Homo-oligomer: A and B are copies of this chain.
């Protein structure tokens, strides 16, 4: 029986049961008589303690096996119900597969996150990154599970596209070495799968994408990446209120299941946040989502204007990250969906409300992060959409296919995008987005 430490079913373990474990050494201490090696196999932050005695101990003397080495051990389980890890392995066979060279940069002593960002291929061999990547995996799969059990189908929106996003000029170009238009025209890395998802929602009704998206963002903040994953559901026959309900329900299921899937990891991350992480998440899980009109948000923020760098709080302004955070952190003290934004600060495809000033958009803001989700009901009226594109100087021809959807059996369609890494930040409490994706890409940096 080969075990993974996390999946050990403690109830079914028997004293003296023979098991084999493969993994990496976390610590190694002992003397001439007895040696304790803790080993981790990546399935959990929990380690298994190996007990090594007699000849075997003599063979692997003192410091012969270093932290990080790969080993394989066979032995008999010894139950230790009173200890933190309720079993240990009395080893009768131990194989050192590959020790580590002296310059292995992961050592017992504390290292900085900055330093670890320089070694993205190794940093997951620390407790923090082990926990974060396990949580990330859980969130990923729980999102797929949620959609698949709610009648959605996943669609692969293209990564390479002829659409330059929303014309913001923050796109990355793709070409071959000859720089001679491999695709016979300018091609970009997609900033969203939404437009393509809309075409599939008209026919499949409930669809979602879960794929990398890109932005040639030059700002070096702790919240932006040039390459990040987005989750973008799009639902035909849904209006704004329906899609907000979906976003709230999705988040709650995905987060609560993840807390259940990885209790040890969540406890560990919670301890790094002075015990504030899990209570914050649980408060969100137990409360209805606050929905607030943009106009009301402006009124709520005005009395606090002096606290912001941008103090001119008025209808028409785009909320900066400082305003978003203040709203969710201080005023609402929890996640809040802001709805009905001024049309001039939102994308051309959003449904134009009757007031002629706002669109049926929403942003879901969460404490500590700010915007986690952005979405809207889409403009279903062909003429209104064309007019808006003209106002914004968006050329109609490349998007004629998108406009045509409105002429071919369209139904009210609504959707949103979750910045997946921001969700991982929210659930893990990690404050820099570069630490929740294995190989972060930002302007001026593409390691490995």
Contacts and interface: CB of A to CB of B under 8 A. Distances in A.
A437 B209 CA distance: 13
Interface string A79-103: 0000000000000000001111101
Interface stretch (A177-185, A324-332, A353-361, A369-377): A177-185
Nearest to A398: B448
A89 B310 CA distance: 58
A121 interface: yes
Nearest to A439: B158
A41 B184 contact: no
A444 interface: yes
A264 interface: no
B183 A446 contact: yes
A183 B124 CA distance: 24
A42 B203 contact: yes
Contact of A173 (B4, B22, B176, B203): B176
Contacts of A175: 172-173, 175
A271 interface: no
Contacts of A189: 174
Given A140-B154, A236-B70, A121 B438 contact: no
Q: Max chain B CB contacts within 10 Å: which of A148, A157, A408, A444?
A: A408
A268 interface: no
Contacts of A346: none
Contact of A411 (B22, B169, B184): B22
A233 to B, nearest CB: 13
Interface stretch (A160-168, A244-252, A272-280, A290-298): A160-168
A332 B130 CA distance: 44
A155 B133 contact: yes
Contacts of A157: 438-439
A134 interface: yes
Interface stretch (A54-62, A109-117, A194-202, A333-341): A194-202
Contacts of A392: none
Contacts of A99: 409
Given A141-B148, A438-B155, A443 B183 contact: yes
B121 A41 contact: no
A254 interface: no
A227 B158 contact: yes
A174 B177 contact: no
A72, A182, A410 pick with most chain B CB within 10 angstroms: A182
Contacts of A153: 42, 133-134, 137
A22 B137 contact: no
A253 interface: no
A70 B202 contact: yes
A7 B141 contact: no
A25 interface: yes
Contacts of A70: 202, 236-237, 409-411
A43 to B, nearest CB: 6
A125 interface: yes
Interface stretch (A313-321, A383-391, A399-407, A427-435): A399-407
Nearest to A443: B182
A365 B359 CA distance: 53
A187 interface: yes
Contacts of A36: none
Interface string A123-150: 0110000100110110011001000100
Give the 4 A-B residue pairs with the shortest CB-CB distance, closest first.
A42-B204, A121-B199, A137-B153, A158-B439
Interface of A: 4, 7, 22-25, 41-43, 68-70, 72, 97-101, 103-104, 119, 121-122, 124-125, 130, 133-134, 136-137, 140-141, 144, 148, 151, 153-163, 169, 171-177, 179, 182-185, 187, 189, 195-196, 199-200, 202-206, 211-212, 214, 216, 226-227, 229, 236-237, 380, 401-402, 404-412, 437-439, 441, 443-448
